[in-house]
Amino acid sequence: MKKIFLLLFVIIINLISYREAKSDCPPGWFENVITADFQYQYDGVIYTCRVIIVFCCRWNADLQMPEIIPKGAYAASGYNDCFHMIEQHPELKDTLIRFIFAEMSKVAKTNPNCFPQCPPCDENIPKLYYRIIAYKCVKWISKPAIRLINGTVLEWADGIEFCDNLDYKCILTYACCCDWNTSPPSCYEWCISAEQYGTSECSNQEPQVPPPGKDWNEPWETECFITNVCRCP
C-alpha cells in the first residue's frame, strides 16, 4: 500500500511539473511518437508486446536526404510484463531494435517535415536515399510517470533508450522508390550500406535486469551496453 501511495505521489508531481512536454530531439529535428505491436517467440509461445516508439527525423538540406534518430521504446500501458521478458532474454533485444528501425522508417515517410515522396521506380530517375543514425549503445530503464511529446502519460515506463550521449554510432543508408502505376502505389525500400563510426565507450556485457539490489517496482536504469545491429537486414 505504501508503494502505491508513493507511486501516485510521484505521478502527480510529474504531471504538475511537466504540463508542457518538451521535445527530446536536437534543434531542427521533429519528434515522433508511434505505437506498434512487436511480436516475438519464446519457448514455443508467440507474445505480442505493444510498444511506444519515440524517434526524431529531419530533412538534411546539405545532404539532400531525410535522416532518422531512434530515441527509445517503452512498454504501452498493460504490456510491462511482456517487456520484462524481452529485457531478461538478450537474444530478443536485437530483434526488437530492428523492429524499431522498421517502424520508424515506415512512419517517418508520412511526415512531410522530413520526407518527400519516394520517386518512381525508374532506372532513369534517381532514388531517394535516407539514413538511420543509430547509437550503438543502449540501456534498459524503469521510470515513474513520464510524459511524451504527444501528451501520452506512461504511469510507469519500462523500456529501452539509446545512449546518444556517447559518440559511437551506426549509420544505415537506405533507398526507396514507388511504382505509381498501381493503386495503391507499390513502394520498396532496401538497405544500401551500414557504416560504424567512433569507438566503443560502453560495456560489452549484457547487464543484469533489474540491476542488483533493485526490483520492478522502483526506478532504475542499467549502464549503457553495446548492440550488434550495425548491418543491413
Write the pLDDT tens digit of every residue in 144-167.
Answer: 878 888 888 888 899 999 998 778
- Provide the pLDDT for residue 179: 94
Could you tell me if residue 155 is inside a domain?
yes
Residue 99: the pLDDT is 96
Q: For residue 141, give the C-alpha cell.
A: 530503464
Residue 25 inside a domain? The answer is yes
Number of domains in the chain: 1
Ranges of the chain whose pLDDT falls below 70: 1-23
Residue pLDDT, tens place only, 216-231: 889 999 999 999 889 9
- Any domain includes 173: no
Bridge partners for 141 per DSSP? 159, 221
Query: What pLDDT does residue 23 have?
Result: 57
151 within some domain: yes
Distance between CA atoms of residues 215 and 213, nearest Å = 7
The model's pTM: 0.86
Whole domain around residue 9: which residue ranges? 2-114+138-165+202-226
Q: Are 69 and 104 in contact (CB under 8 A)?
A: no
Residue 65 domain-assigned (yes or no): yes
Identify whether 174 is part of a domain.
Answer: no
pLDDT (0 to 100) of residue 147? 84
- pLDDT at residue 15, as a whole number: 42
Q: Is the Cβ–Cβ distance between 192 and 173 less than 8 Å?
A: yes
Asked whether residue 207 is assigned to any structural domain, the reply reads yes
- Could you write out the DSSP letters of every residue in the chain? -HHHHHHHHHHHHHHHHTSS----SPTT-EEEEEEEEEEEEETTEEEEEEEEEEEEEEEETTTTEEEEEEEEEEEPTT-HHHHHHHHH-GGGHHHHHHHHHHHHHHHHTT-TTT--PPPBS-TTSPPEEEEEEEESEEEEEEEEEEE-TTS-EEEEEEEEEE-TTSSEEEEEEEEEEEETTSSS-EEEEEEEEEEEEE---SBSSPPPSSPTT--TTS-EEPPPEE----S--
Before 210, cis peptide (omega within 30)? yes
Residue 157, in any domain of the structure: yes
